[in-house]
């Protein structure tokens, strides 16, 4: 019996209610996972054979306010291949807002970790904790700051598989009159960092900027308030702004202080400053190209045998934005850059070893990272510009992409970006959907396994009521989703098996029944049946990027035009205008 008009309206309301939820506002990239809508990378310089091995780790988000239709449909941590194919979507694995997504080792095992918590875009900080996932994508640990502090979003790095470095945004009352403050302005940020024992959470070391660096070192003055105006704890003057911490093999720390335009080496025993690079009180004579401003992500790279020369990397923003609406933007150079710098503590000179400049004129007013790869390549993440470039050691770009395509690419930001080798074996079962196309006499079977890096082939079986199974076919896995098309319908039950590099069975899916071919209405477009293998998203030059056409569209004549509908639980749902 056909549904009544009232029933159709009820179904339509239910469908519209569902599509209003971000989780299901997907773009139908994957038949087996219609709930996922990862970014479609816009690759403008395809990866050459010289790129380092491994996957790309990012956590893009929208720089525009929510609801403005900019940025990723699903802001989350992601793992991608160099071709832009999805490996893992971390959507819903972390709460509220996630950033600084990385891979590392803890207690002899590979892990993933990410900050999750609140995000204050106007002042460039957040409060939350760091969450660890194992290779099966199970949550295994959460780590928070000690001594009654709140973990900030900016830093998390594992040291020797046992301890972790974190950064803390800690507002305190302070006399700001020497810095132009009125009697009402009396809050400042005491920028701190801690080293924690990951297992116990014990604080092993804590450092305070106010105990060692006077606020007069700030490059952003108290007024007009670009870094906070000091009227209350939420608006505290962030004169120093630690955004990275690292530790060398001698137990000393390297910190980046963005709002002081400086990097500092800290004695791991006494907490004293051993040297300052750049800023108002630099200890070094800076060579050409060394000076940086509003930088991020300072890291130790090497040290000479006599200890008199050290090499570090840093991301030089050379710009500061006006996210809180106060004051003007500050620009030091025309573009941002990744930099490798050698400091000489005998002659007190600093030399630019190599700069890594954007293939496009990118100037990021916030965020950014510079990661030196094991083979000497350098991966630069352009922060608020939403792009990543990999370079050969000589500065030649060999891979460049933006983190989303088309109109969604506008306003995409990414705090840090990395490349890591990673082996993932998901704890969840593979997702399988089989779709009957009676018009073509075919059944298409789609399978994906979110986070899987090990499957090389998928094998598909028809399962009979007696328990007997019949092989339908085996397909090489080439992308996130794999499809097998069988030239017949009437298959009752289907199961997929993942095979490893040696043909070994990795996992068996649940048994699914074929459904009718998914319908999708696209206003103003011609519609036709889609066939063939599912392909991974590919990017090409141009702002719109490109991807394989993954939407299934069936031509259905209805009077003088087309009737568009969606399938919901096996029922056709008519568009409101067709009621």
| 57 burial via Cβ count (<10 Å: 0-12, 13-18, 19+) | buried
Helix (H) or strand (E) holding 9: helix 5-19
CA dist 428 and 88 (Å) reads 12
Q: What is the CA radius of gyration of the chain?
A: 27
Is the confidence at residue 570, as pLDDT, over 60? no
pLDDT band at 69 (very low <50, low <70, confident <90, very high): low
**How confident is the model at residue 536, as a pLDDT?**
35
Range 53-57 average pLDDT: 99
**How confident is the model at residue 16, as a pLDDT?**
35
**How confident is the model at residue 500, as a pLDDT?**
98
* Contact call for residues 156 and 166 (beta carbons, < 8 A): yes
The closest of 248, 256, 249 to 277, measured between CA atoms, is: 256
**How confident is the model at residue 59, as a pLDDT?**
98
CA dist 392 and 376 (Å) reads 7
pLDDT band at 324 (very low <50, low <70, confident <90, very high): low
CATH superfamily entry for domain 431-516: Immunoglobulins (2.60.40.10)
Q: What backbone torsions phi and psi does residue 234 show, to the nearest 5 degrees?
A: -80, -20
**How confident is the model at residue 96, as a pLDDT?**
87
**How confident is the model at residue 323, as a pLDDT?**
66
CA distances from 374 to 62, 371, 381, 420, 524 (A): 31, 10, 17, 10, 50
Tell me the torsion sign for CA atoms 80, 388, 63, 545: negative
**Among the ranges given (16-20, 114-118, 167-171, 573-577), the one the predictor scored with the smallest mean pLDDT:** 16-20
Per-residue pLDDT reduced to its tens digit, 246-270: 999 999 999 999 999 999 999 999 9
Per-residue pLDDT reduced to its tens digit, 478-532: 999 999 999 999 999 999 999 999 999 999 999 999 998 755 444 444 333 333 3
Domain ranges of the chain: 29-420, 431-516
CA dist 340 and 391 (Å) reads 13
Per-residue pLDDT reduced to its tens digit, 85-105: 999 999 999 988 999 999 999
Task: Tell me the three state secondary structure of residue 7.
Answer: helix
Q: What is the mean pLDDT of the chain?
A: 87
**How confident is the model at residue 153, as a pLDDT?**
96
Number of Cβ within a 10 Å radius of residue 11:
18
E strands within 144-278? 151-159, 163-173, 187-197, 203-208, 242-247, 253-257, 262-266, 273-277
Per-residue pLDDT reduced to its tens digit, 342-385: 999 999 999 999 999 999 999 999 999 999 999 999 999 999 99
Is the confidence at residue 55, as pLDDT, over 60? yes
The closest of 446, 421, 502 to 87, measured between CA atoms, is: 421
CATH of domain 29-420: 2.120.10.30
Pairing assessment for the beta strands 494-499 and 505-508 based on DSSP bridges: antiparallel
Range 320-337 average pLDDT: 84
Per-residue pLDDT reduced to its tens digit, 393-444: 999 999 999 999 877 778 899 999 999 999 999 999 999 999 999 889 999 9
Number of Cβ within a 10 Å radius of residue 182:
13
Per-residue pLDDT reduced to its tens digit, 267-302: 999 999 999 999 999 999 999 999 999 999 999 999
DSSP state of 13: H
Range 190-211 average pLDDT: 99
CA dist 241 and 293 (Å) reads 12
**Among the ranges given (212-221, 267-276, 487-496, 566-575), the one the predictor scored with the smallest mean pLDDT:** 566-575
CA dist 531 and 319 (Å) reads 49
| Global confidence as pTM | 0.86
* Contact call for residues 106 and 118 (beta carbons, < 8 A): no
Q: State the residue for tokens 């994906």.
A: 448
Task: Give the percent of the chain with pLDDT over 90.
Answer: 77
The closest of 158, 85, 59 to 452, measured between CA atoms, is: 85
Q: What backbone torsions phi and psi does residue 292 show, to the nearest 5 degrees?
A: -130, 165
pLDDT band at 123 (very low <50, low <70, confident <90, very high): confident
CA distances from 558 to 444, 552, 565 (A): 26, 18, 12
Range 61-78 average pLDDT: 81
CA distances from 406 to 354, 372, 420 (A): 33, 30, 27
**How confident is the model at residue 28, as a pLDDT?**
79
pLDDT band at 68 (very low <50, low <70, confident <90, very high): low
DSSP state of 28: -
pLDDT band at 67 (very low <50, low <70, confident <90, very high): low
Tell me the two tokens of residue 197: 């024992």
Is the confidence at residue 577, as pLDDT, over 70? no
């Amino acid at each position: 019996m056909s549904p009544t008009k009232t029933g159709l309206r009820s179904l339509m309301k239910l469908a519209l209610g569902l599509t209003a939820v971000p989780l299901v506002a997907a773009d139908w990239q994957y038949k087996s996972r219609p709930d996922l809508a990862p970014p479609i990378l816009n690759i403008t310089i395809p990866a050459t054979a010289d790129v380092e091995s491994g996957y790309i780790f990012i956590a893009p988000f929208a720089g525009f306010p929510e609801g403005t239709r900019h940025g990723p449909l699903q802001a989350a941590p992601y793992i991608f291949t160099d071709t832009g194919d999805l490996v893992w979507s971390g959507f819903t694995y972390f709460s509220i807002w996630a950033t600084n997504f990385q891979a590392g080792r803890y207690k002899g095992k590979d892990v993933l970790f990410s900050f999750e918590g609140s995000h204050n875009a106007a002042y460039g900080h957040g409060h939350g904790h760091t969450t660890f996932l194992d290779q099966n994508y199970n949550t295994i640990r959460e780590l928070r700051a000690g001594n009654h502090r709140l973990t900030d979003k900016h830093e998390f790095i594992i040291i020797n598989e046992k301890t972790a470095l974190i950064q803390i945004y800690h507002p305190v009352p302070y006399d700001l009159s020497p810095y132009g403050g009125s009697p009402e302005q009396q809050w400042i940020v005491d920028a701190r960092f801690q080293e924690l024992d990951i297992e116990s959470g014990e604080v092993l070391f804590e450092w305070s900027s106010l105990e060692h660096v006077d606020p007069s070192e700030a490059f952003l003055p108290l007024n007009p308030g670009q870094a906070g105006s000091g009227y209350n704890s939420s608006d505290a003057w962030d004169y120093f702004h630690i955004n990275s911490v690292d530790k060398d093999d001698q137990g000393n720390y390297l910190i980046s202080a963005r709002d002081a335009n400086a990097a500092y080496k800290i004695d791991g025993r006494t907490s004293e400053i051993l040297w300052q690079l750049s800023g108002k009180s630099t200890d070094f004579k800076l060579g050409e190209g060394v000076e940086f401003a509003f930088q991020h992500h300072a890291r130790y790279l090497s040290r000479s045998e006599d200890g008199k020369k050290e090499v570090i990397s840093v991301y030089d923003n050379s710009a500061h934005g006006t996210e809180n609406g106060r004051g003007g933007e500050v620009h030091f150079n025309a573009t941002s850059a990744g930099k490798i710098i050698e400091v000489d503590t005998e002659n007190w000179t600093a030399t630019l070893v190599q700069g890594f400049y954007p293939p496009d004129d990118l100037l990021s007013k916030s965020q950014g990272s510079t990661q030196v790869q094991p083979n000497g390549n350098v991966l630069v993440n352009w922060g608020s510009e939403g792009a990543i470039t990999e370079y050969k050691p000589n500065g030649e770009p060999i891979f460049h992409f933006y983190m989303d395509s088309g109109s969604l690419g506008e306003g995409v930001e990414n705090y840090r970006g990395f490349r890591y080798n990673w082996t993932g074996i998901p704890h969840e079962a593979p997702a399988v959907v089989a779709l009957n196309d009676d018009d073509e006499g075919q059944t298409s079977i789609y399978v994906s396994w979110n986070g899987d890096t090990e499957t090389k082939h998928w094998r598909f079986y028809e399962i009979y009521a007696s328990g007997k199974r019949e092989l339908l076919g085996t397909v090489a896995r080439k992308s996130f989703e794999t499809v097998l098309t069988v030239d017949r319908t009437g298959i009752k039950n289907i199961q997929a098996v993942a095979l490893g590099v040696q043909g070994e069975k990795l996992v068996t899916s649940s048994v699914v029944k074929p459904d009718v071919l998914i319908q999708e209405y696209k206003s103003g477009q011609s519609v036709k049946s889609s066939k063939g293998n599912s392909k991974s998203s590919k990017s090409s030059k141009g702002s719109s990027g490109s991807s394989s056409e993954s939407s299934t569209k069936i031509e259905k004549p209805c009077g003088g035009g087309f009737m568009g509908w969606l399938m919901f639980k096996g029922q056709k749902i008519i568009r409101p205008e067709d009621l």
